[in-house]
Amino acid sequence: MQFDYSRIFPYAFAGLAVLLIFRRLRRSFGRQLLRPARMRFRLVILGVLACSLVPVAASSGRFLLAELGGVLAGIALGVWGARRTRYQTFEGKLHYIPHTYTGIAVSLLFVGRLAYRVVEIYSMDGATRAEGAASMQSFGQPDAVKSPATVGLLCAVIGYYLCYYSWVLWKSQRISPEDLEAVPAPSAAAS
């Protein structure tokens, strides 16, 4: 009896998506160690992803407007969040505390659109759903970038993180002692 591995793929993909979303949301809370190499790597990956969306924008004016609007909204959110990011030194290392609400809002925009697409695909009838799943697995343009709303939201997320990580890296190299927040002393109840 041969096992059909194609049945596992959707569950493995869903599990990986949940893990990545959880990790992203977790980084929106509390003190985060500043790791410039990781941030630069993320900037490169996001830059490559942004460049890969340029041909989609060239396909029509609606996509161009969605991408530009998304990038501008993402940059505005990135500046808003970065200006409200706080910095601390803890155990001799520089940490940053992201603006929680901005990070959550951007993450939920992306997760909300992803959830909408999943519901949309699974609410189709069987033949249409098989067609949609096949197009997502093909090497052609997937359905996710056939919608200006999805492309716009993806560009907003990319614009946010490109702006936010760049700002945090820039600020971390120019931080003064006055910019550092005092680390709260451990409470007696925690001891």
pLDDT per position as a tens digit, 11-46: 777 777 777 777 777 777 778 889 999 999 999 999
Confirm whether 134 is domain-assigned: yes
Contact 67, 155 (CB under 8 A): yes
What pLDDT does 143 receive? Answer: 52
CA dist., res. 24 & res. 109, Å (int): 13
Which residue has 């830059």 as its token pair? Answer: 47
Distance in angstroms between the alpha carbons of the first and the last residue of the chain: 58
CA dist., res. 67 & res. 50, Å (int): 10
Confirm whether 16 is domain-assigned: no
What pLDDT does 130 receive? Answer: 57
What pLDDT does 121 receive? Answer: 73
Question: Contacts by 56-60 with C-beta closer than 8 Å and gap 24+?
Answer: 56/141, 56/145, 56/151, 57/151
Confirm whether 23 is domain-assigned: no
Confirm whether 11 is domain-assigned: no
Residues 6+ apart with CB under 8 A from 11: none
**160 is written with which tokens?**
């946010």
Average pLDDT for 176-189: 68
Confirm whether 168 is domain-assigned: yes
At position 112, the amino acid (one-letter code) is G
Domains identified in the chain, total number: 1
CA dist., res. 57 & res. 158, Å (int): 15
pLDDT digits (tens, 9 = 90+) for 83-125: 999 899 888 889 998 988 888 888 888 788 777 877 777 777 6
Confirm whether 188 is domain-assigned: no
Distances in Å between the Cα of 144 and the Cα atoms of 21, 33, 57, 65, 116 are 18, 33, 14, 17, 11
The model's confidence at residue 59, banded by pLDDT at 50, 70 and 90, is: confident
Confirm whether 105 is domain-assigned: yes
Average pLDDT for 5-13: 70
Angle between helices 100-122 and 148-173 (to 10 degrees): 160
**76: containing domain:** 31-174
pLDDT digits (tens, 9 = 90+) for 144-163: 556 788 888 888 989 999 99
Whether 165 has a pLDDT exceeding 90, the answer reads yes
The model's confidence at residue 191, banded by pLDDT at 50, 70 and 90, is: very low
Confirm whether 187 is domain-assigned: no
